Amino acid sequence: MKLGGFLLLLSGWGIVLAALILLHGRAVSAFVLAGLAVEILGLVLFVKAHIPAAGENA
């Protein structure tokens, strides 16, 4: 889950960067938002993977 989240974060930024480089007009906004959505999904996974189990580090 940690690696999945990490890769989704990077992939989301890749989508944003590709949108800025390759697209023009309204499509840029749509793909920047899509990239950000992928990043948020990755962040959720990454965060969940870091929540320690109960009793850990107590």
Partner 1 sequence: MSSGPDPALLLFSYALFLGFVLLVPFAIAGLALINTGLGRSRSAAHSMTSVLCALAVAMLVYFVWGFKIQGFTPYMEHLGVPPESASAGLFLRGVNGPGALTSALLAMFAAGLASLVPLGGGTDRWRLGATCVSSVLFSGWVYPVFARLVWHPPQVFGVQFPHIVDAAGSGVIQATGGLTALSLAWLLGPRRGKYSSSGMPAAIPAHNVVFVLFGCLLSWIGWLGLNSAGAILYAGVIPWKAAQVLINTSFAAAGGGLAAAAITRLRFHRPDASLIANGWVGGLVASSAGCASLKPALAVLTGLVAGALVVFSVEWLEFHLKVDDPCGSVSVHAVAGIWGLLAAGIFAGEAGQFMAQLAGVATLLGLVLPMSYGLNWMLGLIVPHRVPREGERQGLDLHELGADAYPEFVVHADELIQR
Q: Which residues bind partner 1 (CB under 8 A)?
A: 6, 9-14, 16-17, 20-21, 28-29, 32-33, 35-36, 39-40, 42-43, 47, 50-52, 54-58
Q: Which ranges in the chain belong to alpha helices (H)? A: 2-22, 26-49
Q: How far is the CB of 11 from partner 1 (least distance, A)?
A: 8
Q: How far is the CB of 1 from partner 1 (least distance, A)?
A: 13
Q: Is 25 helix (H, G, I), strand (E, B) or coil?
A: coil
Q: How far is the CB of 21 from partner 1 (least distance, A)?
A: 5
Give, in order, the Cα–Cα distances in Å from 33 to each of 18, 42, 52: 12, 14, 31
